Structure 1
Amino acid sequence: MRSLRLLSLSACVVAALAAGCKSETAPPAASADPAPAAAAQPAGAQWDAAVDGFLQGFFEHFPVAGANAGKHEFDGRLPDYSPEGLQRNIQWLHQQRDAINAFGDDRLTAPQRYQRDYVRAVIDGQLFWLEDSGFASKNPAFYAGDLSPSMYLTRPYAPLPQRMAAFVSYQDNLPKAAEQIRANLKGPLPASYIELGTMVFGGFAEFFKNDVPKAFAEVKDEALQARFKASNAKAIEAMQGLSDYLAAQKPQATQDFALGAEKFSKMLKATEGVDLPLDQLKAAGEADLERNLAALKAACDQYAKGRPIVECIEKANADKPRGGAVEGAREQLAGLRQFIVDKDLVSIPGTEQALVEEAPPFNRNNFAYIEIPGPYEKNLPSVYYIAPPDPKWPKAEQDAYVPGKADLLFTSAHEVWPGHFLQFLHANRSQWKFAQLFVGYAYAEGWAHYTEEMMFDAGLDGAGPEIHIGQLTNALLRNVRYLSAIGLHTGGMTVAQSEQMFKDKAFQDPGNARQQAARGTYDPAYLNYTLGKLMIMQLREDWTAGHGGRGGWKAFHDQFLSYGGPPIPLVYGQMMNVPAQAKLWTAPKPAAAPAPAANTALPPATGSPDKAAPKSAM
């Protein structure tokens, strides 16, 4: 499930923040002194001016991020993907980092020191994707976010003719962007990257040809329609040409996608502030996987006693939502919101609701995601998108791709109530604009994934075994993502091995297993769902220990959501009043049976006393 705002740090849409732009005039160079003209101002005023300056410069360097945030003076602009354009952004970010670091602890209040660390973390994340990942030269995911036209078509921020004019400008800029992307994506490329690129860019071409003209058909401006028709033809040709170029690379395809242990660790430190040994990270993921597998076995023993776990899950998934996944999700949202209110789990600021729609053809590489308007927009809807199965799949695989009602319930919880949508209702009300704009991958996805288990623990839909199976199958999917990311990028795991693990441990159907394994190659940070959840669960345990235990959940949730979306270790430091740190939750082990009294005679031993309990059937 994709992270939301294109200003999030999700690696799925990393291009939305990590690519260059072409400005009409060169952006002003940053100074080592963040506010040289305001040297006489108090340090606090200088700090505020420095952050405001960073935001303005950021939008100039990354105009798609500006447009998606609701700064529509940047509409239609696409980045300059040339090596020179990318290097300009790297240089600017380094200048900004130096300027931010010039604010020493002695110049700032405690809240401002936290803000400084937040800004620096965002810069470090951007620099990793631009400088260290190598994605600009081989990974189509680096570009996909910026090229998405969804904002102009699905977000009613202006009258349709105005959005059409912006879309025409966007189409006008696509051929040059495609040419630069083609020059950057030098073969040989990993097979999964080629498949992603052909699907995404080919999907754009198909969408521009078949769907976009219908979206603007009612606009009566003949001159604008003529401009649209001309730019549309060139956009289709550019995107199809890029797709065909990548398809032609298939004979030379490689499996050279791994970041390597050193770079993977640097990714976690730079993007999420997590500086833990890989063996510790892997052990935490394996422990959570085994915890959830054991819980699934227990739930299946109640729901489908005597049947293998695979058949148990099939039984639960056979209970399909009425009218399909989109209609089913629409029915679920009202009940999820009411459950939050009835149980008083977390505050709901505002009265906004999320719509549910079928995902557009160019963005169906994952089952569900939500698009939420940026913080500069006003009174616009958010849309929870659900992808249909690929019509080229066999009928049985298409049917299996549509989740059962219980599975879909926790997808809806993740995307809307109380997951991503509620989190951004809180973030958009932050008093600090920077916190509204920059929401990290582990924060957003960790919160959304955390809420699934939290809602089950609170008794969602009676919390019976079928409901538990829905929650656990979602959790196991994220467990295997976590372990696949580490394995694929640091442990020599093959795509086929990852795909098999999704089938064996997360019980995914063949279509989803293929998608998920491939995603791990081009989205190495998709471990952040479980990583973020484990950090939040540990923070909840530590914080509520001094704030009423279980009775402190609502206060914990409200305070956690008040920070916007920084790296979770920064939030841990703020809420616990300690230095920032990454702590992963691990489930307490079951208490050992009490030892018999010394004078009690023991029965004769039978069987093997050291035999482990049987593992879940696969």
Structure 2
Amino acid sequence: MRSLRLLSLSACVAAALVAGCKSETAPPPASADNTATASAAKPATAEWDAAVDGFLQGYFEHFPVFGAGAGKHEFDGKLPDFSPEGRQRNIQWLHQQRDAVSAFGDDRLDAPQRYQRDYVRAVIDGQLFWLEDSGFANKNPAFYLGDLSPSMYLTRPYAPLEQRMAAFATYQEALPKAAEQIRANLKGPLPKTYIELGVMGFGGFAEFFKNDVPKAFAQVKDEALQARFKASNTKAIESMQGLADYLTSIKPQATQDFALGADKFSKMLKATEGVDLPLDQLKAAGEADLARNLAALKSACDQYAQGRPLGECIDKVNADKPQGGAVEGARAQLAGLRQFIVDKDLVTIPGTEQAKVEEAPPFNRNNFAYIEIPGPYEKNLPSVYYIAPPDPKWPKAEQDAYVPGKADLLFTSAHEVWPGHFLQFLHANRSQWKFAQLFVGYAYAEGWAHYTEEMMFDAGLDGATPEIHIGQLTNALLRNVRYLSAIGLHTGGMTVAQSEQMFKDKAFQDPGNARQQAARGTYDPAYLNYTLGKLMIMQLREDWTATHGGRAGWKSFHDQFLSYGGPPIPLVRGQMMGGAAQAKLWTAPAVVPAAAAAGDAAAAPASGSPDKAAPKSSM
């Protein structure tokens, strides 16, 4: 899906996230709480609009894959300059843009424009962290995999097939140079999980180019174009397989040196999400939410499978598999989810668009589910909810376990489509400010999608039976363990093996998912944003609805929250509550007795420390 995880993290969720744009400066929706803060100063409207337009045009030129994905197809086939010199030019440009945006002081902007300035600056700060501070360009294949994804040309019918084939040939022609730059950057030694991601990703590209892409363009009759494609395809396969082979060759020297460290991890949260909270406070909030969900799971299982251990209770729920497999099952669920939203009047559905469901392509199966949504400049194109099959190399039992039960899949479908990512982008793409359509952050998008799972259960989805509750809770526990694993792996000395065990023990994941999730925590340190975003949204809902009708105000809250596009949630809080941007997490009430009663699996909140670690995606 489109998101703020540019360059470094887009491959993990969708993995992924404006010349001639109309200069629209309508403010974000005003509430009674923030209209009084408008400045009496005369705003520099024309100058500000020109600055934003200039930033967007420059951004597309410096990050052409983002431009093409947004629907600016003059950038089709172009790849970034991954060389150190190319990255440095991008860094320098971003710093120049940040200075130019910051030069618009409060005295030159009205209140809505000051919010816009802070939103633009937040996007720049997030991008600069991944380029300058993370170190990922020199060790993390995830930094590159999102930009290399060919999905747009194959799965998005934005132009006739011949035109997309020509763009794809241009893209393939650019791959050998990109591969050469990437190999030079990834000198090694590299963390083991990074190497495995790169082998899977780059090798998956090669396999996909060889086995699937020629079939996609087979019906094109232009002989010259077919010849050009064949030549570029051969070199693309060689370049991607060469990268995979290179990483395989350095695997004997693999390390476990993946941790960002506490200082850099905190800087990541501040730069990318505007969250400036002490790590011990963040960890305590995650432990409390894990304990709350484990206690709720114990209660639901007492009703659904009384007397049986929690793991057996979940196995019983997951044994009820969707008819025809996960893809067919998800297709059957979407209509009912949409109708439930309408019947319960939970949030506005601003359009008639629908999402398709397809099997994930081989190069992007490192997570169970994700959605690709056309950019805001595209018109009348489908969004696709992708579901990955189990790895055929796994044992048969692990393959069977990887396919979720119907209740689990229901909340995955809610997360990805109704009312999660798909609905959120229906709102974002209707924002009056083009910038807000283009830049949607990780915690905003994933926090909203995860928040909606619990919200839908609370509203009575499918009768809110114990079985349905268990499906919702298993998704919540997965994100709880991601949250604690991210903190533990990068700031607390947690090992990959300890994280994997935590996913088994606290999130009740099967071995295949547990391996994937623990590994993902090393190369996607921001995957705590699912729970982090959810906790910020829950606290904001509690605070905002306290003076806007309580539970009856949920629809108004949802509509207003979704109207901002996708900035860091603390900025949204500042707009909806009045005052400065602030990160504030909802903290679950203490549930120690209930958790202790659940036995070993729920005895004590999980710790990110290595001596206590126990415990699908963009899902």
Q: TM-score, normalised by structure 2?
A: 0.91
1:5 to 2, 5, 21: 2
Tell me if structure 2 keeps the 8 A contact 1:571–1:580.
yes
Unaligned stretches of 5+ residues in structure 2: 17-41, 602-619
Rounded Cα–Cα distance in structure 2 between residues aligned with 1:205 and 1:184: 20
CA shift, 1:6, in A, is: 5.4
Tell me if structure 1 keeps the 8 A contact 2:503–2:518.
yes
Tell me if structure 2 keeps the 8 A contact 1:9–1:438.
no
CA shift, 1:44, in A, is: 1.3
Partner of 1:224: 225
CA shift, 1:14, in A, is: 6.9
Change (3 A) 1:611 1:114: closer
Rounded Cα–Cα distance in structure 2 between residues aligned with 1:546 and 1:540: 10
CA shift, 1:589, in A, is: 4.1
Tell me if structure 1 keeps the 8 A contact 2:366–2:516.
yes
Rounded Cα–Cα distance in structure 1 between residues aligned with 2:58 and 2:15: 14
Partner of 2:539: 538
Rounded Cα–Cα distance in structure 2 between residues aligned with 1:356 and 1:341: 21
Aligned pair 1:350/2:351, yes or no?
Answer: yes
Partner of 2:124: 123
Q: How does 1:601-612 map to 2 (within 5 A)?
A: none
Aligned pair 1:528/2:534, yes or no?
Answer: no
Rounded Cα–Cα distance in structure 2 between residues aligned with 1:16 and 1:543: 30
Partner of 1:246: 247
Unaligned stretches of 5+ residues in structure 1: 20-40, 593-609
**Identity, % of aligned positions:** 88
SS at match of 2:297: helix
Rounded Cα–Cα distance in structure 2 between residues aligned with 1:484 and 1:168: 41
Rounded Cα–Cα distance in structure 2 between residues aligned with 1:378 and 1:428: 11
Tell me if structure 2 keeps the 8 A contact 1:273–1:567.
yes
Partner of 1:203: 204
Rounded Cα–Cα distance in structure 2 between residues aligned with 1:7 and 1:529: 14
Rounded Cα–Cα distance in structure 2 between residues aligned with 1:611 and 1:196: 39
Partner of 2:312: 311
Change (3 A) 1:457 1:551: same
Aligned pair 1:260/2:261, yes or no?
Answer: yes
Q: How does 1:179-190 map to 2 (within 5 A)?
A: 179-190=180-191
Rounded Cα–Cα distance in structure 2 between residues aligned with 1:150 and 1:451: 27
Cα displacement string for residues 181-236 of structure 1 (whole angstroms, at most 9, x for unaligned residues)? 00000110000000000000000000000000000000000000000000000000
Partner of 1:480: 481
CA shift, 1:578, in A, is: 1.7
Q: How does 1:157-176 map to 2 (within 5 A)?
A: 157-176=158-177
Cα displacement string for residues 251-271 of structure 1 (whole angstroms, at most 9, x for unaligned residues)? 100000000000000000000
Rounded Cα–Cα distance in structure 1 between residues aligned with 2:373 and 2:595: 48
SS at match of 2:362: coil
Partner of 1:500: 501
Rounded Cα–Cα distance in structure 2 between residues aligned with 1:556 and 1:418: 14
CA shift, 1:614, in A, is: 2.4
One-letter code aligned to 1:615: A
SS at match of 2:363: coil
One-letter code aligned to 1:306: G
CA shift, 1:11, in A, is: 5.2
Tell me if structure 2 keeps the 8 A contact 1:389–1:402.
yes
Change (3 A) 1:461 1:258: same
Rounded Cα–Cα distance in structure 2 between residues aligned with 1:387 and 1:611: 36
Partner of 1:603: none
1:614 to 576, 597, 604: 597
Q: How does 1:590-609 map to 2 (within 5 A)?
A: none
Change (3 A) 1:88 1:9: closer
Q: How many residues align?
A: 576
Partner of 1:326: 327
Partner of 2:51: 50
Q: How does 1:140-159 map to 2 (within 5 A)?
A: 140-159=141-160
Cα displacement string for residues 358-389 of structure 1 (whole angstroms, at most 9, x for unaligned residues)? 00000000000000000000000000000000
Q: How does 1:404-415 map to 2 (within 5 A)?
A: 404-415=405-416
SS at match of 2:275: coil
Partner of 1:34: none
CA shift, 1:433, in A, is: 0.2
Change (3 A) 1:457 1:612: closer
Rounded Cα–Cα distance in structure 2 between residues aligned with 1:111 and 1:564: 14
Change (3 A) 1:612 1:95: closer
Q: How does 1:381-530 map to 2 (within 5 A)?
A: 381-530=382-531
Change (3 A) 1:526 1:571: same
SS at match of 2:565: coil
Tell me if structure 1 keeps the 8 A contact 2:479–2:530.
yes
Partner of 1:66: 67
Rounded Cα–Cα distance in structure 1 between residues aligned with 2:386 and 2:111: 40
Rounded Cα–Cα distance in structure 2 between residues aligned with 1:101 and 1:611: 50
Tell me if structure 2 keeps the 8 A contact 1:309–1:617.
no
Structure exhibiting the larger radius of gyration computed from Cα positions: 1
Partner of 1:107: 108
Cα displacement string for residues 531-583 of structure 1 (whole angstroms, at most 9, x for unaligned residues)? 00000000000000000000000000000000000000000000001211000
One-letter code aligned to 1:167: F
SS at match of 1:385: strand
Change (3 A) 1:153 1:449: same
One-letter code aligned to 2:88: Q
CA shift, 1:587, in A, is: 2.1
Rounded Cα–Cα distance in structure 2 between residues aligned with 1:487 and 1:500: 13
Partner of 2:20: none
Tell me if structure 2 keeps the 8 A contact 1:357–1:383.
yes
SS at match of 1:323: coil
CA shift, 1:613, in A, is: 4.2
Rounded Cα–Cα distance in structure 2 between residues aligned with 1:43 and 1:210: 55
Aligned pair 1:82/2:83, yes or no?
Answer: yes
Rounded Cα–Cα distance in structure 2 between residues aligned with 1:546 and 1:457: 21
One-letter code aligned to 1:397: E
Cα displacement string for residues 324-382 of structure 1 (whole angstroms, at most 9, x for unaligned residues)? 00000000000000000000000000100000000000000000000000000000000
Moved over 6 A (4+): 14-19
CA shift, 1:45, in A, is: 1.1
Partner of 2:612: none
SS at match of 1:362: helix
Rounded Cα–Cα distance in structure 1 between residues aligned with 2:91 and 2:209: 32
Tell me if structure 2 keeps the 8 A contact 1:317–1:404.
yes
Change (3 A) 1:42 1:492: closer
Rounded Cα–Cα distance in structure 1 between residues aligned with 2:420 and 2:594: 41
Rounded Cα–Cα distance in structure 2 between residues aligned with 1:164 and 1:49: 35
Tell me if structure 2 keeps the 8 A contact 1:309–1:616.
no
SS at match of 1:156: coil
Tell me if structure 2 keeps the 8 A contact 1:303–1:312.
yes
Rounded Cα–Cα distance in structure 2 between residues aligned with 1:586 and 1:45: 43
CA RMSD of aligned residues (A): 1.8
Tell me if structure 2 keeps the 8 A contact 1:10–1:441.
no
SS at match of 1:275: coil
Aligned pair 1:560/2:561, yes or no?
Answer: yes
Partner of 1:598: none
Tell me if structure 1 keeps the 8 A contact 2:12–2:524.
no
Rounded Cα–Cα distance in structure 1 between residues aligned with 2:213 and 2:599: 48
One-letter code aligned to 2:302: D
Tell me if structure 2 keeps the 8 A contact 1:356–1:384.
yes
Tell me if structure 1 keeps the 8 A contact 2:8–2:144.
no
Rounded Cα–Cα distance in structure 2 between residues aligned with 1:10 and 1:537: 29
Structure with greater contact order relative to length (CA < 8 Å, sep ≥ 6): 2
Change (3 A) 1:409 1:551: same
